[in-house]
Amino acid sequence: MYIDYLTPESVTDALQILQQQKGKARIIAGGTDLLLDIESKKHNPEILVDITRIPEIKGIRTEGNFLIIGAGVTHNEAAKSPLVNEKAQVLAEASRSVGSLQIRNTATVVGNVVNAQPAADSAVALVALGATAVIASSDSTREVPVEELYAGVGKTKVNSNNEIVTNIIIPALQPGEGSAFTRLAQRKALALPMLNVAVVVSIAEDKFQQARIVMAPVGPQPVRASDSEELLKGAAINEETIQKAAEAALNHANPRNSTLRGSAEYRCATLKVLVKRALETAVARARN
Tell which positions 246-275 bind other proteins, by CB under 8 A.
Answer: 259-260, 262-263, 266, 269-270, 273-274
Tell which positions 142-171 bind other proteins, by CB under 8 A.
Answer: none
Q: Quote the least distance from Cβ 287 to other proteins, whole Å.
A: 22
Q: Applying CB under 8 A, does 20 fall inside the site for other proteins?
A: no
Q: Quote the least distance from Cβ 262 to other proteins, whole Å.
A: 6
Q: Lay out the sheet containing 163-171: strands in order across.
A: 60-63, 66-70, 163-171, 132-137, 141-145
Q: Quote the least distance from Cβ 109 to other proteins, whole Å.
A: 16
Written as one letter, the residue type at 286 is A
DSSP letters for 263-283 = -HHHHHHHHHHHHHHHHHHHH
User: Residue 132: beta bridge partners?
Assistant: 145, 169
Q: Quote the least distance from Cβ 26 to other proteins, whole Å.
A: 12
Dist CA 280 CA 48 (whole Å): 44
Q: Applying CB under 8 A, does 193 fall inside the site for other proteins?
A: no
Tell which positions 222-251 bind other proteins, by CB under 8 A.
Answer: none
Written as one letter, the residue type at 100 is S
Counting Cβ atoms within 10 Å, is residue 79 exposed (0-12), middle (13-18) or buried (19+)?
buried
206-242 burial, b if ≥16 CB within 10 A, otherwise e? eebbebbbbbbbbbbbbbbbebbbebbeebebeeebb
Q: Applying CB under 8 A, does 1 fall inside the site for other proteins?
A: yes
* Closer by beta carbon to other proteins, 15 or else 28: 28
Q: Applying CB under 8 A, does 31 fall inside the site for other proteins?
A: yes
Q: What is the CA radius of gyration of the chain?
A: 19
Contact pattern for other proteins over residues 71 through 110, marking x by CB under 8 A: -----x----------------------xxxxx-xx----
Dist CA 288 CA 201 (whole Å): 13
Q: Applying CB under 8 A, does 48 fall inside the site for other proteins?
A: yes
Q: Quote the least distance from Cβ 75 to other proteins, whole Å.
A: 12
- CB under 8 A: which stretch of 127-135, 143-151, 182-190, 208-216 binds other proteins? 182-190
- CB under 8 A: which stretch of 83-91, 110-118, 179-187, 228-236 binds other proteins? 179-187
Distances (CA, A) of 50 to 9, 165, 192, 217: 9, 13, 26, 29
Number of residues that bind other proteins (CB under 8 A): 40
Q: Which helix (H) or strand (E) holds 284?
A: helix 264-287
Q: Footprint of other proteins on this chain (CB under 8 A)? A: 1-5, 7, 28, 31-32, 35-36, 48, 50, 52, 76, 99-103, 105-106, 184, 186-192, 194, 259-260, 262-263, 266, 269-270, 273-274
